[in-house]
Structure 1
Amino acid sequence: FANRVKHLVLVEPWGFPERPDNAEHERPIPIWIKALGAILSPFNPLAGLRIAGPFGLSLVQRLRPDFKRKYSSMFDDNTVAEYIYHCNVQSPSGETAFKNMTIPYGWAKRPMLQRIAQMDQDIPITVVYGARSCIDGNSGSTIQSLRPNSYVKTIAILGAGHYVYADQPEDFNQKVKDICNSVD
């Protein structure tokens, strides 16, 4: 339904680059992490949260105190931790999908860069990254080279990490508004 898409905005898009052949050689993964990964591989990543039951909320608060800090300008209580907990304690459909789309250590089984050139060339794309993100921001320029006859723009938001919309909300919202205004 490409005719229904006016502009594709990819925010912190995961799953674009291929796993480098030398990924393990550049940053060797300790054997204990590999063993732990093999033991836990049958389980969904957040299964422990569901097993914890009513103690899961305190687990989220203890393991991810950064969520409360990140949203402190909007909430002064545990609203965000409660939201994260309730979203993730439900049936793990998204989690299961993510697990099935990955190969060890978070790389995509079928990287999007292998298929992005097949997308309708008339659909403009904007890729938004946090400048301090762990997600590879080079995918934006690779998309540009794979779609030479298409509009492709990459935006890096300074001071933002992976949660670009939370780290720099005003800047992020302004960039998205600018994109939306350019489409109208």
Structure 2
Amino acid sequence: MSGAAAKVVGRAVAACPGVTSPEPTLVIDAPAEALRGDAVVPTSLKDGLVYVTPTPPAEVDRDAPRELRARIAEAIAAAAPGLKAIKPRIDQRTRLDLDGDGSPDEVVAAVVPDPRDEEADLRFSGLFLVPPAGAPVLLRSRTGTRERYALLGALDLDGDGPRELYLNTYGDDGFSLSLESRGPDGLKTLGRWACG
């Protein structure tokens, strides 16, 4: 890899066993042997990758403050006005510096399950950036889905200061790992690898 900041130089496809149509994946200016096992982050960037320590979703939900839960419920109601009786379950709550300003930013993954049927599709699944005050910012969401989001880490891929998000989108039958940049309309996928 060159001494300059890493950059996306193209796209390729990555096949996964049992998948008939391969998914596009990120190509970074690093030799293939430098790629980590997680498929989208080259080893040469591992020192810049800030990993999130995982916590079981049940513990995160149990320990989530009421005030945070209320703020997330309001943000979900604004994003999906058709939902009634919103009782979010907090799957992930983590703090890491995304802006590159030295101060941690709070990221929350939340779902709204069907209260009558835990096996049914989630009524809502979303990832939020939660400022200290004001409304949480919705980064990505889906309704009527089995997919959930988990932030795995963040890294400054292009050397501009703000970090891109290393995101796991997972469901019952598969998952994808992606690098995402933040913009005014939420997340933009820079590269993705999927299995299932």
> What's the TM-score once normalised by structure 1's chain length?
0.26
Name whichever structure is richer in strand by fraction.
2
Which of 1 and 2 has greater Rg?
Answer: 1
> Relative contact order (C-alpha < 8 Å, sep 6+): which is higher?
1
Name whichever structure is richer in helix by fraction.
1
> What's the TM-score once normalised by structure 2's chain length?
0.25
